[in-house]
Amino acid sequence: MLKRLIALPALLLIAIGTGAAANAEGDEGSCTRTSVEKVEGPEVWEPGPDGEQVPLWPEGLAIEAPETDGNAEWTGNGSPLVAGRLWHWATYVSRPSMTLYSPRGENSGTALLVLPGGGYAAVAMDLEGTEICHWATAQGMTCIVLKYRVPQVWQRDENGVQQAPEVQLPLKDAQRAMALLRHGADAYGIDPEKIGVIGFSAGGHLAAELSNADTLSYDRVDAADDETLRPDFAILAYPGRLWDENSPKPLMKLAPWVRISKDAPPTLLIHAMNDPVDDVRHSIAYGLALSEAGVPVDMRLFADGCHAFGLRETSDPVTTEWPELAIRWLRSAGLL
């Protein structure tokens, strides 16, 4: 695993980015974004010709259904725009899959499992999925976009306190994807000890769950499930559902459903201070907890960026700087 490949200090490093200059016309930096009409309907999301889609579960195997209310899969565009452009999602996903994209140029052997966000109501397939893979494959990585089961509602109690589902279907899908990738590493041209994860927003929470899970969350299906299911490295961008939003802010207390393992992989956290959706404290609380457990952590906080910026460039420095930070971080670990 990665901890055997490199020796990183278990130290939390925080860099606060400077504020952005005035936004360029049409740039839609920070939290200035344009709402558009949503166009949606029944349709199964399919990758382009450069992606190989693989079902996660054997055909005919009964798996738990998300809260689809009997609907077949839908796709549509999100609103508001991000960097002045449309983005697209899938929902009512009952048959999850992973889509593999081969590295362009020299193969580093590293694989990156991408967990898009969407609040566990949908999966942002391009903004936080295929666009991430376009970047990752250019760095010599095999990239895999996970289309996991949604929607799965997180209920609130009578006091308005959020509750985690007892059974987290997206975690089952993420663990199964890791199992298939390690089991098929030779066929996929990847190093089974260089398989990491990157997650955005709700996908960042899912990446944390995957990083800290010590046991299989579903009944063994086949030999693939005998593989190690923990990623070798993790990158979380503007994650949510990690900090206890009902605790006093200075405490930086984790949400009650978050578990921290000393065996979690080295982790890079990216967040904007002005995120109005997932407070920056989600990253800070999680990073501090990992560091206290002896897990190597790097954290990069930026003044501006808002939420759900993905890799789309705006005048906010985070949108151009975080990809380069991630590349340097991966290189320092011997992954690129």
Summarize pLDDT for 158-185 with one digit per residue, the tens. Answer: 888 889 998 899 999 999 999 999 999 9
Average pLDDT over residues 31-37: 92
How would residue 9 be classed by pLDDT, with cut points 50, 70 and 90?
A: very low
Whether 31 maps to a domain, the answer reads no
Whether 327 maps to a domain, the answer reads yes
SS3 content of the chain, % helix, strand, coil (to 5): 25, 20, 55
CB of 129 closer than 8 Å to CB of 114: yes
Whether 186 maps to a domain, the answer reads yes
Q: What φ, ψ does residue 153 adopt, rounded to 5°?
A: -75, 135
Q: What's the DSSP call for residue 65?
A: -
Q: How far apart are CA 104 and CA 83, in angstroms?
A: 26
Whether 61 maps to a domain, the answer reads no
144: helix, coil or strand?
Answer: strand
Q: How far apart are CA 1 and CA 7, in angstroms?
A: 12
How would residue 248 be classed by pLDDT, with cut points 50, 70 and 90?
A: confident
Q: What is the bridge-based pairing of β-strands 97-101 and 142-147? A: antiparallel
Query: Angle, nearest 10°, between helix axes 202-212 and 169-183?
Result: 60
Residue 30 — left, alpha, or beta (φ > 0 → left; ψ -120 to 50 → alpha)? left
Q: For the chain, give the mean pLDDT.
A: 92
Whether 38 maps to a domain, the answer reads no
Question: What confidence score (pLDDT) does residue 4 get?
Answer: 33
Helix (H) or strand (E) holding 55: strand 52-55
Name the pTM for this structure: 0.92
Whether 84 maps to a domain, the answer reads yes
> Residue written as tokens 């457990």?
293
The residues, any chain, with a CB within 8 Å of residue 327's CB and separated by 6 or more, are 139, 336
Asked if residue 12 has pLDDT above 90, the reply is: no
CB of 255 closer than 8 Å to CB of 241: yes
CA dihedral for 39, 41, 45, 49, sign (positive or negative): negative
pLDDT digit string, tens, across residues 99-137: 999 999 899 999 999 999 999 999 999 999 999 999 999
Q: What is the CATH number of the domain that holds 152?
A: 3.40.50.1820
CB of 71 closer than 8 Å to CB of 42: yes
Which residues form the domain of 151?
2-20+49-56+72-332
Whether 288 maps to a domain, the answer reads yes
Question: What confidence score (pLDDT) does residue 27 get?
Answer: 65
Whether 92 maps to a domain, the answer reads yes
Q: Number of folded domains in the chain?
A: 1
